[in-house]
Amino acid sequence: MNDILTIWSEWIKPSAGLPTVQWSILLALAAASGHLVNRYTGLPKVIGYSVIGAFAGLAGFTGAVWPLKGTGLFLLELGVAVVLFEAGGRIPLRWFRHNPMVLVQSLAESAFTFLAVHWVLGQMGVRATVAEPLALLAMAASPAVLARVAIDTRAAGPVTDRALVLSTLSTLYALTICSARAGMMPRFETGLANTLYPVLVVLGLSVVVGAVLALTLRTALRVMSPTSENTAILLLALIAASSALAANYGGSAPLSALLGGMLLKQLNPRPWSWPRQMGTASSMLTMLMFVLVSVVAAQANWNKPVAGVVMALIAARMLAKVAGVGLGNVGSGASWKQALWVSLAMSPMSSVALLLVSQYVAASSALGPEIAGIALPTILTMEILGAILATVAIYRAGESSRPWELLRRNTQPGTLNES
């Protein structure tokens, strides 16, 4: 691919630069692939996006170089922030007051995941300074992937709702702790006291930025319609500004957006009609995020020793989430079968994990590459496999309004059904 691009660049001089042409073509292919995957298999479009991105990364696509920095890193942060803001807006805090076992379930599955992955990696010969960051990364599910799966399968119900809430909470824990631990890496600090202070700093700064974001949007909603396109533009612009500010002052950009969405939900319980007005801009940003993740993750060093560690990590993570969700299911109002589908729906890993790996790599030139060497193949595998497992869980729970059998009939020659 590099040779072809070198020859191409000698006679074509696009006004916006060759990388713009490359990304435009790649996103066009990803959009077409996502549509075809969804239309002919019933699987979510994110799988098509990820497969195209993975092929591009393996073929030597130079439009996204690892480690991410500059514009590429900001676009990833912005995409994650937009998704997490909307995910935070789905969480009514009063729900935990009426059903506190949901919060217990969340804490249990995250703690089980950390302990299981840490132990398994230790048994595989991974040193503790690398196993701990990977175990923290494994806690985070992907609300972005799960939300896309729910949209493409037209899913609604208790399993989908609980999986989205638990995925969002696990992401909150991972963002807070991983951001703090990444900041401690250059100083080689350990111990509970040394960890607690950075966690409080990251969380505190993110809460402040998130609160300012929520209050600003709440004020805007007093004079602007939630369904207005101008309100959607204002939302995207404020999330972009808050992301830049949070990252610059030592907080976490995605965490501040997540907390801002949660706070806005409490201040204005019904603001969520405007995401429909974001239209193509938001969809483009989300698709770019998934393609970027798979392009970068595919650049990892794939070999048999790493594959063994990755498979062990994935197995430990999945079993731990099943055990944690099941343990916290007592008194939570869900059946045991529903708990199993919830835990499977929490399988995906994607953009949040990649963003956290970027922080580790930036923080430590010694440990960062070792962490990334295991984390990147894991992220790419679980972005695709996790989306499939989440789709199966939603269909098995009976919460999709589009059964796979109906999709197959609708995609026979002679039909005009559009996904």
pLDDT in tens, 278-308: 556 677 888 889 999 999 998 888 888 899 9
Q: Which pLDDT score, from 0 to 100, does residue 221 have? A: 80
Q: Which of 222-231, 371-380, 389-398 has the lowest mean pLDDT?
A: 222-231
Question: Quick check: 411 pLDDT over 60?
Answer: no
Q: Does residue 416 lie in a domain region? A: no
Q: Does residue 225 lie in a domain region? A: yes
Q: Does residue 121 lie in a domain region? A: yes
3-state secondary structure the chain: CHHHHHHHHHHCCCCCCHHHHHHHHHHHHHHHHHHHHHHHHCCCHHHHHHHHHHHHHHCCCCCCCCCCCCHHHHHHHHHHHHHHHHHHCCCCCHHHHHCCHHHHHHHHHHHHHHHHHHHHHHHCCCCHHHHHHHHHHHHCCCHHHHHHHHHHHCECCHHHHHHHHHHHHHHHHHHHHHHHHHHHHHHCCCCHHHHHHHHHHHHHHHHHHHHHHHHHHHHHHCCCCCCCHHHHHHHHHHHHHHHHHHHHCCCCHHHHHHHHHHHHHHHCCCCCCCHHHHHHHHHHHHHHHHHHHHHHHCCCCCCHHHHHHHHHHHHHHHHHHHHHHHHCCCCCCCCHHHHHHHHHHCCCCCHHHHHHHHHHHHHCCCCHHHHHHHHHHHHHHHHHHHHHHHHHHHHHCCCECCCHHHHHHHCCCCCCCCC
Domain that holds residue 23: 2-410
Q: Which pLDDT score, from 0 to 100, does residue 220 have? A: 84
Q: Does residue 292 lie in a domain region? A: yes
Q: Does residue 406 lie in a domain region? A: yes
Q: Does residue 39 lie in a domain region? A: yes
Q: Which pLDDT score, from 0 to 100, does residue 349 have? A: 93
pTM listed for this prediction:
0.87
Tally the domains of the chain: 1
For position 335, which CATH number holds? Answer: 1.20.1530.20
Q: Does residue 156 lie in a domain region? A: yes
Q: Does residue 417 lie in a domain region? A: no
